[in-house]
Chains A and B, each alone.
Chain A
C-alpha cells in the first residue's frame, strides 16, 4: 500500500524534527495506523504544564480519508467530547474538508493550537462552550483544575 509508505515517511519526519510540544510514537510498532501522541498543553492556556495523551488513528485509505484524533487524557475543552472517547472535532478532519495534501504534523499542530484557542462555535460540548464564551474565568479555573488532576 502506498499509504504505508507515506505514513512511515511522515512518522520519520515527525520523530526526527518534532513540532513544538508534540511527540509521536506508534502505539504498536507493527501497526503504523495507530499513533500515540504526547501533547504538551500550550503556554498561556489553562492546559499549560499538562501532558495530554492523544490517539491518532489513520484509516487504511489514508491520505484519501482523514485521520481521527482523540484525547485519552481527560480534558475540559469545548471541542473535545467529555466521555471515554475524548473525540476532538477538527474542521480539517471532516470528510468534506479533508485534503490529502494535509500532513499529520499539520493536524497535530492544529489540534494543539485548538487547545490554546478553542472554537466555541464549533463545539461538541455545548455547556463548556457557553462557559468559555460567557464566563471565561470560571472556564479557565475548571480547565486548569482538570489539567492538574488528569494531565500531570
Chain B
C-alpha cells in the first residue's frame, strides 16, 4: 500500500516517488520526509472523490470531501461522533467560497449561549479524548479518510504554516485542524515516541477514561512528534511544565517531594536480587558460635545450629539467607553495622570470604545494580514513588568509577519538575 507514497525534500522542496529512494534525487539531501498517500478503499467515501492516488502531495485529492460523510458507516465512537448527533451537540461544517479551506465545529450545549465559550476542561475531557483519539488515529493511519474527529480538518493543514494554533482556543470547538504531514513547516525535532497507541492508553488510564480502541495492527505510521504538544494543549496543560491539572498528577508531585525530602530519602537504596544472591554463604562453624556456643540470626532472632548455611556480608556479619534477603531488597546495608554490602574492602577484614566479594563487585556490577534497583523500587512500591529512581539510570548510564560514595547522592538527582514532561518520562522512560 505504500506504492503511492511520495518523498518530500525539506532542503530543496523537491518531491519524488518513494520508490526512488529516501535521498533527494535533486539535491542529495537526506533531510526528507515520507508523505504517505494511502490507496483508495472502495468501502467508503463517495465515488466522485475517489482519489487517483498518484497526485502531487500538495494537492489535496479530498478537497471537497465532507469529513463527516463516512461517519455513519464507520462511526468509531459512541454518540457524539457516530451517525446520530446527540441533541445537545451541534455539528457544523464551513467551507470557504472558493473551496480552498473548510473547517468543522462541534458545539456542546451546556446551557450557556452558543458561540465562543470557554468550557472548563472537566466536562470536555471525554469529548476531547475522543477527538484526540481521532487525531491520533489520523496520525497513525496514513488514511485521510480516517479524519472524522470534530473540529478537525484535513484540508486546512496544507495551508497551515504556523503551529500557533496550539495556542488557540482549542476548547471552543473551532479547531483550525491538525496536519499529520505538514511539509511546509519544519517539524520540531522532538523525540519520537515509539508507540503512540501506548501513549494514548497511558493517557487514558491516567485521566480515567475507559474507551475501547479498535485494533489497528502493526501499521502505525511514523509518529508525529507534535502529538505530545497537541496533547498537552488539549489537556490545557501549561507549557511551563510546572502546573498540574489532575489529582493524580498532584499526588505524584507530592509523593515525589515527600520521597525526596522525607526520611526515606536518606535511607539506603535496595540491593538487587542478583547482588544478594551473589553474597557468599558459609556453614556456621564453632568460631561463629561465639564463646557461649550459641548464636542467633539477628533478624529473626532464631538460634542457628552448627553447620547451618548462612549468608555472610562483606562486613562479616552473617544471617539466614531468607532474612538478609528480605532486608537487603529494601536497603543495601548490613542490618547490624550499616555498612553497604557493596563496599568491597570495607574496613579490611582479612577474612577468607573477602576475596569472593572483591571479585563479585568491581565497577561493572555497580552500574548494573543501580539499574535493577530501580526496577525493584518500581515493583515494590506504587508507581508514583518510582519517579526519581526510574530516571536516574537514564541520567547516568555509565558506571561512575565504582565509588560507593557517589551512590546516594545520585539517587534523587533525576527529579525533574512536575508537569507533562516528567509525567511522560515517568511513564515511558527513555525510549532509546
Residues of A within 8 A of B (CB): 2, 5-6, 9-10, 63-64, 94-96, 99-101, 103
The answer to whether A101 and B336 have CB atoms under 8 Å apart is yes
Residues of A near B327 (CB, < 8 A) are: 64, 100
Complex contacts, A96 vs chain B, CB 8 Å: 263-268
- B299–A101 contact, CB under 8 A? yes
B264–A63 CB distance below 8 A: no
* B11 contacts A by Cβ under 8 Å: no
Docked complex Cα distance between A2 and B336 (Å): 19
Q: How far is the CA of A5 from the CA of B299 in the complex (A)?
A: 11
Q: Are B301 and A99 in contact (CB under 8 A)?
A: no
**B interface SS class:** loop
Min Cβ gap B88→A in Å is 51
Q: Across the interface, which residues of B come within 8 angstroms of A6, CB to CB?
A: 299-302
- The answer to whether A94 touches B298 (Cβ under 8 A) is no
Q: How far is the CB of B296 from chain A (nearest CB, A)?
A: 9
Please give me the residue from chain A that is nearest to B324 by CB atom: A100
Among B263, B268, B301, B302, chain A packs the most CB atoms within 10 A around the CB of B301
Assess the A63–B263 pair: CB atoms within 8 A.
no
Contact B326 A10 (CB under 8 A): no
Please, how many residues of chain B have a CB less than 8 angstroms from a CB on the other chain?
A: 19
Residue contact A101 to B266, C-beta cutoff 8 Å: no
With A9-B301, A101-B335 given, name 6 new contacts (CB 8 A): A5-B300, A10-B301, A64-B327, A64-B330, A95-B267, A101-B336
With a cutoff of 8 Å between Cβ atoms, the chain A residues found around residue B268 in the complex are 96
B 272-301 contacts with A by CB, 8 A: 298-301
Least CB distance from A66 to B in Å reads 10
Docked-complex contact A5 and B302, CB < 8 angstroms: yes
A9 to B301, CA, bound (A): 8
Query: Which residues between 308 and 353 of chain B lie within 8 Å of chain A, taking CB atoms?
Result: 322-323, 326-327, 330, 335-336, 338
Cβ contacts under 8 Å, B299 to chain A: 6, 63, 100-101
Cβ–Cβ < 8 Å partners of B267 in chain A: 95-96
> Smallest CB–CB gap between A5 and chain B, Å?
7
From the candidates B263, B264, B322, B335, name the one contacting A99 in the complex (CB within 8 A): B335
Point out the residues of chain B lying under 8 angstroms from A63, CB to CB. 299
**C-alpha spacing A6/B302, complex, angstroms:** 8
> Can you list 13 residue pairs at the A/B interface with Cβ under 8 Å?
A6-B300, A9-B301, A64-B327, A95-B263, A95-B267, A96-B263, A96-B264, A99-B336, A100-B298, A100-B327, A100-B335, A101-B298, A101-B336
Which B residues are in CB contact (< 8 Å) with A95? 263-264, 267
Q: Give the complex CA separation of A6 and B336 in angstroms.
A: 17
User: B330 — nearest CB in chain A belongs to which residue?
Assistant: A64
**Chain B residue at smallest Cβ distance from A63:** B299
Among residues of A, the one whose C-beta sits closest to the C-beta of B266 is A96
B300 to A2, Cβ gap below 8 A?
A: yes
Whether B302 contacts A94 by the Cβ 8 Å rule is no
Whether the Cβ atoms of A94 and B263 lie closer than 8 Å is: yes
How long is the Cα–Cα vector from A6 to B301 in the complex, in angstroms? Answer: 6
> A109–B284 Cα gap in the complex (Å)?
31
CB contacts under 8 Å to A, within B254-274, are 263-268
Known contacts: A94-B263, A101-B336. The answer to whether A64 contacts B326 by CB under 8 A is yes
Q: Which residues of B contact A9 (CB under 8 A)?
A: 301-302
